[in-house]
Amino acid sequence: MATFAPMAQNEEIFKKIISHSKEYGFVFPSSEIYDGLSAVYDYGQNGVELKNNIRQYWWKSMVQYHENIVGLDAAIFMHPTTWKASGHIDAFSDPLIDNRDSKKRYRADVLVEDQMAKWQDKIDKEAEKAAKRFGETFDKDQFLATNGRVLEYKEKIESTTKRFYGAMERNDLADVKKLIEDLEIVCPVSGSRNWTDVRQFNLMFSTSMGSVSEDSNVIYLRPETAQGIFVNYLNVQKTGRMKIPFGIAQTGKAFRNEIVARQFIFRMREFEQMEMQYFVRPGTELEWFEYWKTERMKWHQSLGIPATKYRWHPHDKLAHYANAAIDIEFEFPIGFKELEGIHSRTDFDLKAHQEHSGKKIQYFDPELNENYVPYVIETSIGLDRTFLAVLSYAYTEEKLEDGSERVVLRLPSMLAPVKCAILPLVAKDGLPEKAREIMDTVKYDFMCQYEEKDSIGKRYRRHDAIGTPYCITVDHQTLEDNTVTIRDRDTMKQERIPIEKIGELVRLKIKG
C-alpha cells in the first residue's frame, strides 16, 4: 500500500483543491447565488474542458481503438418497467436512521463502518506505538497476530461485520438498529443515542411524465447509464451486425439521491458515468473479466499517474446479478476510494428485460449454431471521480529557488484545459497585433488562450495554476525575426523557437 500523509494534512490539501477548483473556474457549487444545492456541482470554464478531455480520451480508448466496441447515447428517461426489471425499484436502497434530537439522517451502514474504522485506527496506533518502543527489532505481523488489545479490536470488527451483513442479508432492520444501540453509537451532531427505526430508502429520483391530470406516470431519472445499453442491445447488435464478443459504450448523466452526500465531487446526486457493456459467450465471462481488469488498469496508468496511487478492491459480497466484481480504487486526499467497478453481470439484465418486455433478447452464434442470451462484463467509471483523481494528483505546491511559491497543476498535457497561452510581453509596440496573428494560426488546432493583462510573471502563474503546458511569449525580437519564447509549465525553462514550430511542438506534447 502507498504511504499517505497524516489525515489532517490530507484534509488540508483536499480543502485547498476545492478552493483552487473554484478560484480557477474548474468547479462551482450549483446555484451558488442561492447558497448552493447539496452534492450538486457545476463545471466552470476550465473544468468543462478538463472534463470533456477526460471523456474524449475514454471514448477514444474504448470506441475508436476497439473495432468491436460501438457507442450509444440513450435518453435519461426510460420506460419505468426498465427499473422494475433491473431490480432498482425493489432493491436500490440504503438503510437509513434518523437521530430524533439533531433531526439528522444517516446511513446505518456508514455509522457502523465509521465505528469499525475507529477500532482499526486504534489497532494502527497500537502498532505505531510498539514500533517506536521496539525499534529495529519490531515484527509488525507478529505483533498484530499476538497483542491482546489488537486481538480484542480485531474480534470486535469481525463480529460486527458478521452481525451487520447478516442482518442486512435477512433484511432484519430491527437488528441493524439494535446493533447501533449495542455499539453505543452516538449522533455526531447531538451526541445522543435517540435513534429512530432503520428504514430502507430508495435512491432513485422520480418525477411524473405527461400532464398530471391525464396520463401521469411515475418516471425515474436513471441511476446508471448501463440499462440504456441493455435495452438497446438488440437494436445495436442487429443494425451494426455485431458479432460476439462485442461492446457498447456510453457516457452520460446518472442521478442518485445520496444520503451521505459530502466529499465534494466524489459523491454527487447528479454525476456522470462512462460505462461499457461487453457481450460474451456464456462460460467465457471470467476470462473476459480478467482481460478487462488488465485493460482498465492500464488505461488509468496511461494518464501518467503512478501505479502506487491505485489498488484493487475485490467485492466481499457479490450483488445478486454478479459472479465476479472488483473495484479500482484511487488514493484521493480523503484516502483510497472507489474510482471504477468491473463487474461480471452474467445474463441477469438481458434475461430480466426479456422477461419483462416479452421480447426475445438473444444472439445466434453461427460457430455454435445456437441461440443464447449473452453474458456481460461491465466496466463502469465515474467521470467526476476521474476528474477529481486527475486534479488531486496534479495539484502541486512548489517552493522555487528564488524563495517564491507557485501552485501548478501538473495535468497530463492531453487533458489540460488550455494547451497553449499566447502572451504579448507588453500590450503595446505592435506586440498584441503580432500575438493575435499567431493565435489565429494555432487556435484551430488546439485550445489556446490570448492574454495581455498583468505582468508576464503573473500571467505565467495563472497558467501554471490551470495546468497550461506551454506559454508562448511574443516580444520585441519577434517583430524582427519571427521567433518567440516557449515556456514549459513543469520545468519553467524557456527556449526560442521560430513561430512556424509552435504547432508542431504543442501537438507533439499533447498527443498523449
Whether 327 and 338 have beta carbons less than 8 Å apart is answered as yes
Nearest residue to ligand GAP on Cβ basis: 382
Which residues pair with residue 180 across a beta bridge?
none
Shortest CB 499 distance to ligand GAP, Å: 43
By CB under 6 A, name the one of 49, 109, 275, 451 that touches ligand GAP: 275
Over 99-130, what HEC string results? Answer: ECCCCCEEEHHHHHHHHHHHHHHHHHHHHHHH
By CB under 6 A, name the one of 82, 202, 380, 413 that touches ligand GAP: 380
Asked if residue 384 binds ligand GAP (CB under 6 A), the reply is yes
Shortest CB 47 distance to ligand GAP, Å: 15
Asked if residue 226 binds ligand GAP (CB under 6 A), the reply is yes
Asked if residue 339 binds ligand GAP (CB under 6 A), the reply is yes
Whether the bond into 245 is cis, omega within 30 of 0: yes
Shortest CB 332 distance to ligand GAP, Å: 11
**Largest Cα–Cα distance of the chain, in whole Å?**
82
At 434, the amino acid letter reads: K
Return the number of the residue (268 or 421) whose C-beta is nearest ligand GAP. Answer: 268
461-466 contact pairs (CB < 8 A, 24+): 461/406, 463/418, 463/421, 463/489, 464/406, 464/407, 464/408, 464/409, 464/489, 465/20, 465/24, 465/406, 465/407, 465/408, 465/409, 466/24, 466/25, 466/26, 466/46, 466/409, 466/416, 466/417, 466/418
User: Which of 249, 321, 241, 323 lies closest to 287, judged by CA?
Assistant: 323
Write phi, then psi, for 379 (nearest 5 degrees): -115, 125
SS3 84: helix
Q: 405-409 and 420-424 as β-strands: parallel, antiparallel, unpaired? A: unpaired
Which residues pair with residue 312 across a beta bridge?
328
Write down the H helix ranges in 379-484: 383-394, 431-442, 456-466, 476-481
Asked if residue 271 binds ligand GAP (CB under 6 A), the reply is yes
By CB under 6 A, name the one of 51, 267, 353, 509 that touches ligand GAP: 267
Write phi, then psi, for 454 (nearest 5 degrees): 75, 170
Asked if residue 258 binds ligand GAP (CB under 6 A), the reply is yes
Asked if residue 177 binds ligand GAP (CB under 6 A), the reply is no
Asked if residue 382 binds ligand GAP (CB under 6 A), the reply is yes
Distance in angstroms between the alpha carbons of the first and the last residue of the chain: 28
From residue 15, alpha-carbon distances to 24, 32, 392, 408 in Å are: 14, 18, 11, 16
Return the number of the residue (43 or 271) whose C-beta is nearest ligand GAP. Answer: 271
By CB under 6 A, name the one of 231, 381, 391, 416 that touches ligand GAP: 381
Shortest CB 21 distance to ligand GAP, Å: 15
By CB under 6 A, name the one of 96, 173, 242, 268 that touches ligand GAP: 268
Return the number of the residue (348 or 395) whose C-beta is nearest ligand GAP. Answer: 348
Interface with ligand GAP by CB under 6 A: which range of 4-12, 118-126, 172-180, 263-271? 263-271
Shortest CB 329 distance to ligand GAP, Å: 9
By CB under 6 A, name the one of 53, 273, 346, 485 that touches ligand GAP: 273
By CB under 6 A, name the one of 340, 451, 452, 464 that touches ligand GAP: 340
| Binding-residue total with ligand GAP (CB under 6 A) | 19
195-224 residues near ligand GAP, rule: CB under 6 A: 224
Asked if residue 338 binds ligand GAP (CB under 6 A), the reply is yes
Asked if residue 88 binds ligand GAP (CB under 6 A), the reply is no
Extract the C-alpha cell encoding 265.
Answer: 465531487
Binding site for ligand GAP (CB under 6 A): 224, 226, 256, 258, 267-268, 271, 273, 275, 338-341, 378, 380-382, 384-385
